[in-house]
Amino acid sequence: MYVVCKTINTLRGGTRSAMSENKNKLVSESQTEQIQIVLSGDINGYGRLFGGRLAEWIDVVAVVVARRHSGHEVTTVSIDNLHFKAPAYVNETVVLIGRVTYVGRTSIEVKVETYAENLRGERNMINKAYVVLVAIDENEKPVPVPGLILENDEQRDEWAAGARRYDFIKRRRYEDA
């Protein structure tokens, strides 16, 4: 069973999911995988992958995913929950996998999972991050994005969690104003 989700802003400032009628896309249509090898220039003083380098790689993967989903240029709004779970070392292979988890009217949330892979092909998750991006036109103005077709329970759970993060960010932005 497929579920098509799109966020609709309500008059009270909250959001709700609704069936979308334009250009809906499957999560798999924009999923992106990037491979890096940790080189000596990528490490910090402790001999581990520098967190800033990993954040850069995560942002690039998220941008590619969001561009593929929206069909537009995008700009990064925030990186949420950038949690370093384990290190990666020189000569390890780093695998980054990005997929859309939630869409707003003009925004796209992308989850990027990062793994360190050894020479035996064994993967260890080293990071998980959620990146929020906004699709923009040639004048750098926000543009609507396609809805997301959810195909399984994992994607529906990610959508629900993304909706909670979206509402939390909206409330926080309102309180900070």
Structure confidence by residue, pLDDT tens digits, 119-162: 999 999 999 999 999 999 999 999 999 999 999 999 999 999 99
User: Looking at residue 6, what is its pLDDT?
Assistant: 60
Structure tokens of 59? Answer: 């942002």
Residue 177 to residue 57: CA distance in whole angstroms:
31
Q: Which helix (H) or strand (E) holds 62?
A: helix 51-70
Residue 177 to residue 122: CA distance in whole angstroms:
47
Where exactly are the structural domains of the chain? 3-176
pLDDT digits (tens, 9 = 90+) for 104-120: 999 999 999 999 999 99
21 has pLDDT over 60: no
Over range 69-81, report the average pLDDT.
Answer: 94
Q: Which helix (H) or strand (E) holds 172?
A: helix 153-176
We find that the CATH architecture of domain 3-176 is: Roll (3.10)
- The amino acid that residue 165 corresponds to is R
| CB environment 58-79: b (16+ within 10 A), e (fewer) | bbbbbbbbbbbbbebbbeeeeb
